[in-house]
Amino acid sequence: MCTRSMMLSLMPRLQGHTRLVRGPCRERSLSHLSKPAAAFAQRRVSLPMQSKYTNKRRSRSFAVFASANGSEDAQLVAARNQLVPADDGTGGWLQHRAKVDVEGSGPGEDWIEELVANDWIEGAMNFTPPAAKLLHKPKILVVYGSLRERSFSRFLALECARLLERLGAEVRTFNPSGLPPRDPTLENHPKVVELRELTLWSEGHVWVSPEMHGTITGVFKNQIDWIPLNTGSVRPTQGRTAVVLQVSGGSQSFNAVNELRKLARWMRMPCSVNQSSVAKAWQEFDDEGRMKESHYRDRVVDVVEEFYKFTLLMREHADFLVDRYSERKEREEKGRLLSQAEKEALKTIDSETK
């Protein structure tokens, strides 16, 4: 069997559509390939169907991300950009807002508006990197690690989302409710598809977890576990920025943020230097879920402002920074990046043919 035929036999089935790998730097990194290899590398291979969640259900819920030219369907984006989730549990990406059409809006006392009115964050709001080529709003995904109705990690995450919107970012907040425990047979569950596609859409992540038993919660870790290191030729998190924050019920600790940094490093995400740990979080939020004035709140502003500027700087060079020799070599030889399972299968075939 020739090498190309062998690779074709190992590829998972295409699930009704392909997704092009976009971005000028990524296109340049494929320019040295032969036409067949370049075409191979530009395809996003979907996972095989292994559960009750059919192709039809996936295309209905997430056709917004499924178009072959990489564009989003404005009508379906609007359906997900709401304050509350849809009937299938997906969406509600603007849960951080009080009014769906007002960026950065929130319930109760709007302390962020006071920051804007008094020009305290004007420098970050007006910042553009020298010779910047990417002029669209930075795309930020906010992830938090609790399902409680009065969740302090969610309150903190939503404050970060509001602040980022006022700085100038496009923000989508993921609701972890309904996301199943990591199970390979549920790859096409709507919440799994939603999380993975939001990750592909994003340019930076805000991670907020409570500290529980000295580490992050299972709710938060489960979300990271559902994000694969690679899908075909695409690494969903590689080169995206991250910032880490935690809340705790007792005295201040840094166990959760340290664990989050480890996860960011493992997911190949450059992490903003600053971080926030809010101790005795039950004292730091009012009845509306807004953060009270304190040195903790000042630190959150510091962290979010730095992360916003960090993302603007890093996204300009993200593709170049993660353009690795070993991956260029693999694309040239194999046509695309292989999963670990495919590499092991190739080793088995090679050993049998010797």
For 214-245, what is each residue's pLDDT tens digit? Answer: 999 999 999 999 998 766 556 789 999 999 99
Domain map (residue ranges) of the chain: 82-323, 327-353
**pLDDT tens digits for range 62-75:** 444 444 344 677 88
Strands 276-278 and 241-247: parallel
For the chain, where are the E strands, in sequence order? Answer: 139-144, 170-173, 204-210, 241-247, 276-278
Residue 86 near residue 79, CB atoms below 8 Å = yes
Ramachandran angles phi, psi of 229, nearest 5°: -70, -30
How far apart (Å, rounded) are the C-alpha atoms in residues 194 and 106?
24
The C-alpha torsion from 306 through 309 and 311 to 317, rounded to 10°, is: -130
Q: What DSSP character marks residue 307?
A: H
How far apart (Å, rounded) are the C-alpha atoms in residues 255 and 311?
24
Q: How many CA atoms lie within 13 A of 187 on its CB side?
A: 11
pTM given for the model: 0.79
| CATH code at 82-323 | 3.40.50.360
Ramachandran angles phi, psi of 244, nearest 5°: -120, 140
Tell me the average pLDDT of the chain: 83
How far apart (Å, rounded) are the C-alpha atoms in residues 172 and 97?
11
Collapsed DSSP state (helix, strand, coil) of residue 231: strand
How are strands ordered across the β-sheet holding 276-278?
Answer: 170-173, 139-144, 204-210, 241-247, 276-278
Per-residue pLDDT of the chain (354 residues; tens, 9 = 90+): 444 444 444 444 333 333 333 333 333 344 444 444 444 344 333 333 334 443 333 333 344 444 434 467 788 888 899 999 999 999 999 999 999 999 999 999 999 999 999 999 999 999 999 999 999 999 999 999 999 999 999 999 999 999 999 999 999 999 999 999 999 999 999 999 999 999 999 999 999 999 999 999 999 999 999 998 766 556 789 999 999 999 999 989 999 999 999 999 999 999 999 999 999 999 999 999 999 999 999 999 999 999 999 999 999 999 999 888 988 998 898 888 887 778 888 888 878 887
CA 235 to chain centre: 11
